[in-house]
Amino acid sequence: MPAKEKYGAQPPIELLRQWIDHGNWYDRKDTSEIKLTDVLFMSAMGPPGGGRNEITSRFTRHLNIVSIDEFSDDTLTKIFGTIIDWHFAKGFDGSLQRLGKMLVQATMVIYKEAMEKFLPTPSKSHYLFNLRDFARVVRGVLLIPSTHLQEGGKLIRLWIHEVYRVIYDRLVDAADRTKFFEIVKETTQSSFKQSVDSLCGHLSHSGNVRDEDIRNLLFGDYMLPDADPRVYDEVTDLKQLTTIMEYYLDEYNQMSKTRMSLVMFQFAIEHISRISRVLKQDSGHALLVGIGGSGRQSATKLATLMAGYDLFQIEITKNYTAVEWREDLKRMLRKAGTEGKPIVFLFSDNQIKNESFVEDINMILNTGDVPNIYASDEKAEIIEKMQAVAKQEGKKLEATPLMMYNFFIEKVKQNLHVVLAMSPIGDAFRNRLRMFPSLINCCTINWFQAWPEDALEMVANKFLEDVDMTAELRGHCVTMCKLFHESVRQQSEKYLEILNRHNYVTPTSYLELILTFKDLLKLKRDEIMSMKTRYVVGLEKLDFAASQVSVMQVELTDLQPELVKTSKETEKLMVQIEQDTVEVEAKKEVVAADEAVANKAAAAAKAIKDECEGELAEAIPALEAALSALDTLKPSDISTVKAMKNPPSGVKLVMESICVMKSIKAERKPDPGGSGKMIEDFWGPSQKLLSDFQFLNSLKAYDKDNILPAVMKIIRSKYTCNPDFDPNLIKNASTACEGLCRWVRAMDIYDRVAKVVGPKKEKLAAAEAELSIQMEKLNEKRAQLKEVADKLQALNDNFDMMVQKKKDLEANIELCSQKLERAEKLIGGLGGEKDRWSEAAMLLSERYHNITGDVLMSAAVVSYLGAFTVDFRQECISEWHACCQEHIPCSDIFSLNATLGEPVKIRAWQIAGLPVDSFSIDNGIIVSNARRWPLMIDPQGQANKWVKNMEKHRKLAVIKLSDPNYVRILENCIQFGQPVLLEGVGEDLDPILEPVLLKQTFKQGGVDYLRLGENVVEYSPEFRFYITTSLRNPHYVPEVSVKVTLLNFMITPLGLEDQLLGIVAAKEKPELEEKKNELILESAKNKKQLKEIEDKILEVLSSSKGNILEDETAIEVLSSSKTLSEEISAKQVVATATEKEIDATRNGYKPVAVHSSILFFCISELANIEPMYQYSLTWFIDLYLKSIGNSQPSDDLQERILILNDHFTNSMYRNVCRSLFEKDKLLFSFILCVGLMKGKGKIDDDAWRFLLTGGVALDNPHANPAPDWLSDKAWSEIVRASGLSNLAGLFKHVRENTGLWKQVYDSATPDKAIYPGEWSRLAGLDRMVVLRCLRPDKIVPAVQAFIVENLGQSYIEPPTFDLMGSYADSHCCAPLIFILSPGADPMASLLKTGQDMGYRGNMIQTISLGQGQGPIASQMIDAALKDGSWVVLQNCHLATSWMPKLEKICEEVYSKHYSIRYMTTMHSCFAV
């Protein structure tokens, strides 16, 4: 609350003071009065100082101030002594109880020493200690039970471990850590009367314990993963600890979607152990401080798994606000409180979208709760759930809401562990610690140091263990990796010191180096070996072809007689075959006649057989149906029928028919109708028949082929013709009789058919017997025919074989001739390549040998050097190459282009707009080979232009973070494999991009997916992501830089010269420049085709199986390819010659390009004077084009060059002066003058550096000869100046001629005075250096004279403000910006100019910007785009939030009305 705002007030304090003074506040909505009554105000604060502000006395005068002093030593001893006594009374040895009292005293000594020796500073703002730290040491000692603590030495080691964890782990530098070790060493000796060497001697190889050795002292509960409960105990076996940690890591990787590739070196294990210790304690929270990529989150995730806890992290999306944050917190707190699940909340500072997030974290750390976070219904739900929890746990608590909510908070404190991962870079960390003290008070702080050497070595060894190289070479590679890492760290410090540019070296950079090395080494080895194999195979094929020529000539001579002999044998066979063929034909006729007779008999027999089978086909189905109906009858169905006393007529009728079929006679009985006659009754016999167990079987086995005609006559006359004898009707009377009825009818049908078929069967048998006789005769004749035919076939086969042999011989002779011809073609066509291929194969063998060192260097450049400028890069590469040559095979001259570059691809890049200098080419190579997406520092827009042209054919999507739908565009591009350019980023990237930057893909159903915000999208391997920033010197913190490949794409003098030469040549000689561009494209196309043709030739040679001379297609392809290659080569020779002629003419304008390039770099340096002085390359080129067009023409090239240089220099001077503060205009002229003179080699760099700095101050051994008028400072400078080449001996001359030099010193115009003796000849910078030493107050007129002498009078007379001139230089997309001093107003001048140009009334729109005015200004600009009027935006400094919108309007506008102008005004402080 006491944080001061811009004007020094403390708004929250003032608000409280208002209430105390007046007893009320005001509602912000309707300004109604709000009165607070019956409020007792209590407040607390720490003493001012150390970042804490004073509270205004206007507030404190209302309060009774009570100061609470620190606890006395006795009080602390009483508090913590009681706790220790209580703990050691639980089954511990008595000696340990006595040691416990000493332990409290020792902790107090350490605590006081820490507060005294480790004071907070801006870089060590977390060096704050309080009683909670004292308590943390004691609580740590309480973690070990009596069963595992039997001796005093172990207790003291435990105490050393705990004080190290609480205090040592937060220390920043080696000096502080050494100092703390000494404190612990002394305290152990004085308090426990034991030396650290005797207690911890086993940790050191020498027995003499150093601070480094205490790293091996570890306590934890993780050594027995399956133990229950897990006991906090000393780790005695570090090798076993590594194994255990790797076991936990494997378990994590099996359970998690995103694997962690960690190497369990000791440094990582220590941090995991420290976090595990914190998580073991109730309310154990950790603050992990380290730069991005140092392993804070990985260590936490693994420690969480080891503890068996759930990990909770928020997921930042584009629309993540305080509302979503609170919802996430509620979910987490409920999980810890009501569900009782132990949770680790991992929260990093790059997730802080709003500082209120940290305020809530501060409250959770302190109280376990966030005030007013729950709505009343949510709170009621929590209270209800806690009542159930209390009942379940047997807690006897009052069921009041307050008690239940307190129980909930207690559970949260018990189960929730907050782990904060923060970066110490910048002011944010220090400010947050100051504003939110719980971050220090409630957390155990763990400062992540740079990786020690053993960690670097172990990681490199682990990742390189599967690379194919000798152990010795691997060891040298590891050493080089460590050297790279350390040298870049030192170079980054130097980079910051000299150029004020930040670059961070993190463990992630080191991992990138090793992984890039592995990937590139495999790629280049395979590529080189493949190329070499193709050359070697090509050479082998050529050698083989040459060796085959003589062999084939001999073969051709041998084949001719063989062919003649074979032809004669074939003719003899032909005669024999003709004779035998006549005999076979005669036999064939006889057999054919017999076969016709047999066929006729067979046809007759088949007709009879078919007729029989057709008629039987009618009866068989009915018979089968009847038998199946019998199968369905059961004995019980038959019994039912048998049991009928008075059966229905249908049943009787069926049973009668059965009796008839089975020839059973009826009984004669008197007619029951009373006629007196005897009638036949079948029911009695039927019942007997039904009583037979074999009844159904007898029906199934019935002899249907031999039924008596008399029986069938009765059946047909009496039953089948009877309409009542129908199975469907019978079914109504009895189901059993239905089946019997069907059987009788089926027998009738079968019998009828059998009677007809019988005679036909006899006839069939006779026909078949006749056929058999015929077939015997036929088969005999056929056997005779076969014998004759076989003989003929043998002759034919022999004949075919002889013909084939003849053909083969002819083909061999033809092939041999063709092969001879092809061999001559091959040798003639490719023979010239033999020497070149042999040399290429030899060079590739050498390159393969050197590739390890070259790729290692290249991987280091790609991973580490992207952010550096060309000088720093070159310095690093030279140092590395010298070291690499000592132990690792590598090329004599290292070049990233030679190792990883592809000439055809680089040419295509240059055509797309990549500058031609080696620095820019290296940048392109880094972009294409880096594992991470590139973030290009591109103030001149070179990278932007290159990427847009390069990826245009792949439908590049260009987005900005300010675009409302950029996430959707990104999702689509990721899915469809299109490239994306994110341009114009600042120093922070949207957290939603993190999964894309880290390539956090996961497989699902064999397809790669990526989670982007709330959506999961398919990840195409074709997707490419480019990021550019237009900031000149951005500061990317490690959290950002580890996720991208930072690249410095600032233009180089050589690259700019080439561009400017192209522009001036295009303007001066448009037809030549056009021809030059055509030739560049044609040359690139030719080289690409030649490369493709050679690849094709080698591919055909290497892929051809067997004898190449037998592959006609391959020879044709090779022949045509070689012909085409020669045609293209001839074209290329002509194109190259023409290009050289054009370049000779074009290079005539090179002095203009060099001169203009120098001017650009001169104005670029102005940003070092004032950040506002930044000029884009686009603006510069626009001015350059105007100058070329507006300058006086001349046919004389030398005269034209002078005109162009003078005109452009003057034009640029006037334009730049317009935007400079008055105080800086002369300085700009001086920079311009010196820059141009440097370009001509007229400036001594040492003298220039001395003029600017006065030299490096060293002790002056020479006494001041004239202290009365010459100050010691001036004399020291004279002595130092004497070290310059042109001023050697100056101090001696001054010492010997003080009187003469005093005259110069006393002169009113020393800048014009003649120097004594030989020094009178001094001129230029040398003269100014002497003047700087004697009379620095007169440097300004000397500078003016220097400028006049070298540039001209006009360069010290800045042009007055010319609004019309400014208007002429502006256009619709480049607004005029007026930087105003207080009180200045350009409106009157602006309106007058507008009126003079015909802009009156509504044609000049003005608006003063401020809150809510942005949309109105947008409407004005939209209207002006239509009617071409002027828009004046005043006071832009009051609408900073709207400036990005204005920038977007300027970028996107394409107006037909080129008369539209934007004019903006702002205060100078805003612009700066």
CA distance 112 to 109: 5
Mean pLDDT lowest for which of 31-45, 284-298, 606-620, 1246-1260? Answer: 606-620
313-358 per-position pLDDT tens digit: 988 877 788 899 999 999 999 999 999 899 999 999 888 888 889 9
Distances (CA, A) of 825 to 367, 553, 828, 1117: 91, 16, 5, 12
Tens of pLDDT, residues 289-316 = 998 878 889 999 999 999 999 999 988 8
Q: Is 328 helix (H, G, I), strand (E, B) or coil?
A: helix
| Residues 1158/1235, Cβ–Cβ less than 8 Å | yes
Whole-angstrom CA distances from 641 to 645, 651, 688, 715, 742 are 9, 8, 12, 21, 16
Spatial neighbors of 980 by CB under 8 A, at least 6 apart, are 956, 957, 958, 959, 969, 970, 973, 1023, 1024, 1025, 1026
At 1307, list the tokens: 């002169």
What are the C-alpha distances in Å from 846 to residues 62, 410, 528, 581? 87, 71, 10, 74
Residues 6+ apart with CB under 8 A from 206: none
Q: Give counts: helices (H), strands (E), the chain.
A: 54, 23
pLDDT score of 626: 64
Question: What is the spatial distance between Cα 1446 and Cα 307, in angstroms, rounded to a whole number?
Answer: 53
Nearest to 639 by CA among 713, 577, 693: 693
Q: What H or E segment, with its residue span, contains residue 969?
A: helix 966-976
What are the pLDDT digits (tens) for 893-939? 998 998 998 888 888 898 898 888 888 999 999 999 999 999 999 98
Of 210-214, 779-783, 1434-1438, the range with the lowest mean pLDDT is 779-783
CA pair distance 1160, 1423, nearest whole angstrom: 37
For the entire predicted model, the pTM comes to: 0.73
Predicted local distance difference test score (pLDDT) of residue 29 = 82
**Is pLDDT of 58 > 90?**
no
Pairs from 954-959 (Cβ < 8 Å, separation ≥ 24): 954/978, 954/979, 954/1024, 955/979, 956/980, 956/981, 957/981, 958/983, 959/983
Q: Considering only CA atoms, which of 451, 459, 461 is closest in space to residue 486?
A: 451
Task: Kindly give the pairing relationship between strand 1007-1012 and strand 1015-1018.
Answer: antiparallel
CA gap 608, 759 in Å, rounded: 11
Per-residue pLDDT at 35 exceeds 80: yes
| Nearest residue to 414 via CA among 342, 483, 507 | 342
Q: Are 191 and 106 in contact (CB under 8 A)?
A: yes
| Lowest-confidence region among 675-684, 758-767, 1320-1329 | 758-767
> How many beta carbons lie within 10 A of that of residue 828, not counting itself?
11
What's the average model confidence in pLDDT over 109-137? 90
Kindly tell me if the per-residue pLDDT of 558 is higher than 70. no
**Residue 750 pLDDT:** 77
Task: For residue 1359, name the pLDDT band (cuts at 50, 70, 90).
Answer: confident
Q: Among positive and negative, which fits the CA dihedral 1312, 1316, 1320, 1326?
A: negative
Judge whether residue 675 has pLDDT over 50.
yes
* Lowest mean pLDDT, pick from 453-457, 709-713, 764-768: 764-768
**Encoding tokens for residue 1294?**
């001054």
Measured between alpha carbons, how far is 339 from 1370 in angstroms, rounded to an integer?
A: 67
Instruction: Give the pLDDT of residue 1108.
Output: 53
Residue 717 burial (C-beta neighbours within 10 Å; 0-12, 13-18, 19+): exposed
Confidence class of residue 639 from pLDDT cuts 50, 70 and 90? Answer: confident
pLDDT at 615: 64
1105-1140 tens-digit pLDDT? 655 555 566 566 666 656 666 777 777 777 777 777
pLDDT at residue 1471 is higher than 60: no
C-alpha distances in Å from residue 743, one per residue of 114, 699, 755, 1071: 116, 8, 18, 112
- Residue 1408 pairs in a beta bridge with 1434
Contact 368, 409 (CB under 8 A): yes
Half-sphere exposure of 385 (CA within 13 A, CB side): 16
Mean pLDDT value across residues 1436-1450: 81
Which residue's structure tokens are 């150390």? 50
Would you state the pLDDT for residue 104?
92
Closest to 293 in 3D by CA, of 1039, 1045, 1046: 1039
Q: Residue 958: beta bridge partners?
A: 981
Lowest mean pLDDT among 245-254, 295-304, 547-556: 547-556
Mean pLDDT of 1325-1348: 91
d(CA 102, CA 1305): 74
Strands 33-35 vs 24-26: parallel, antiparallel or unpaired: antiparallel
Question: Which are the contacts of 276, defined by CB distance < 8 A and separation ≥ 6?
Answer: 220, 221, 222, 303, 306, 307
* Per-residue confidence (pLDDT) for residue 1457, from 0 to 100: 46
Indicate the pLDDT class of residue 996, thresholds 50, 70 and 90. Answer: very high
Strands (E), 599-666: none
Q: Which pLDDT band holds residue 1461 (cuts at 50, 70, 90)?
A: low
Q: How far apart are CA 51 and CA 1269, in angstroms?
A: 48
Measured CA to CA, the distance from residue 1399 to residue 1432 in angstroms comes to: 13
What does the angle CA 1390 – CA 1471 – CA 1442 come to, to the nearest 5 degrees? Answer: 85
Question: How does pLDDT run across 1056-1093, given as a tens digit for each residue?
Answer: 888 888 888 888 877 776 777 777 777 777 777 767 76
pLDDT in tens, 470-492: 889 889 999 999 999 999 999 99
Share of the chain above pLDDT 70, in %: 87
All residues at 6 or more sequence positions from 1129 whose CB lies less than 8 Å from its CB, including other chains: 1090
Q: Does residue 1428 come out as left (phi exceeding 0), alpha (psi in the -120 to 50 range) or beta?
A: left
Confidence label for 165 from pLDDT (cuts 50, 70 and 90): very high
d(CA 517, CA 852): 9
* Predicted pLDDT at 807: 75
Between 1098 and 1460, the more confident residue is: 1098
- Which residue do the tokens 């890492």 mark? 485
Q: Which residues contact 1445 (CB under 8 A, 6 or more apart)?
A: 1414, 1418
pLDDT at 54: 83
The closest alpha carbon to 423, from 1041, 1217, 1014, belongs to 1041
| The predicted structure's pLDDT at residue 1456 | 44
Residue 814 — pLDDT band, cuts 50, 70, 90? Answer: low
pLDDT at 781: 67
Asked whether residue 787 carries a pLDDT value surpassing 50, the answer given is yes
CA-closest candidate to residue 935, choices 984, 896, 990: 984
Give pLDDT, residue 956.
93
Residue 239 above 80 pLDDT? yes
Report the mean per-residue pLDDT for the chain.
83
Q: Comparing 329-338, 614-623, 635-644, 723-732, which segment has the lowest mean pLDDT?
A: 614-623
Residue ranges of alpha helices (H) inside 210-284 are 238-255, 266-280
CA-based diameter of the chain, in Å? Answer: 190
Summarize the confidence of residues 1217-1234 as an average pLDDT.
Answer: 90
Whole-number pLDDT of residue 1470: 40
CA atoms of 538 and 544, how far apart (whole Å): 10
pLDDT at 747: 81
| Closest of 967, 963, 990, 941 to residue 1445, by C-alpha | 963
pLDDT at 818: 63
What whole-number percentage of the chain has pLDDT above 90? 25
Q: Give the single-character DSSP code of 491.
A: H
Locus of tokens 């940290």: 358
What pLDDT digit, counting tens, does each position of 1166-1188 carry? 888 888 888 888 888 888 888 88
